[in-house]
Amino acid sequence: MKYIDEYRDSTAARKLADHIARTATRPWTLMEVCGGQTHAIVRFGIDQLLPDEVTLVHGPGCPVCVTPVALIDAAIEIAQHPDVILCSFGDMLRVPGSSGNLLAQQANGADIRVVYSPLDALNLTKENPDKQVVHFAVGFETTAPAHALTVRQAHEASLDNFSLLVSHVLVPPAIEAILGSDLNRVQGFLAAGHVCAIMGQAEYEPIAAKYKVPIVITGFEPIDILAGVAMCIDQLEMGTAAVENPYARAVQAQGNTTAQLLLREVFEIVPRQWRGIGEIQRSGLGLRPRYHAFDAARRFKLFADKEEHQHQQCIAGEVLQGIKRPHDCPAFGKACTPDSPLGAPMVSDEGACAAYYRYRRVTVSGV
282-292 residue pLDDT tens: 999 999 999 99
> Which numeric CATH code is attached to 1-313?
3.40.50.11740
Q: Where are the domains of the chain?
A: 1-313, 316-359
6-55 residue pLDDT tens: 999 999 999 999 999 999 999 999 999 999 999 999 999 999 999 999 99
Binned at pLDDT 50, 70 and 90, residue 117 comes out as very high
Q: What is the DSSP string of 156-177?
A: HTT-TTEEEEEEEE-HHHHHHH
Taking 70 as the threshold, does the pLDDT of residue 350 lie above it?
A: yes
Angle at 328 between CA 312 and CA 275, to 5 degrees: 45
Q: Are 31 and 323 in contact (CB under 8 A)?
A: no
**How many other β-carbons are positioned within 10 Å of the β-carbon of residue 4?**
8
Taking 70 as the threshold, does the pLDDT of residue 310 lie above it?
A: no
pLDDT at 366: 38
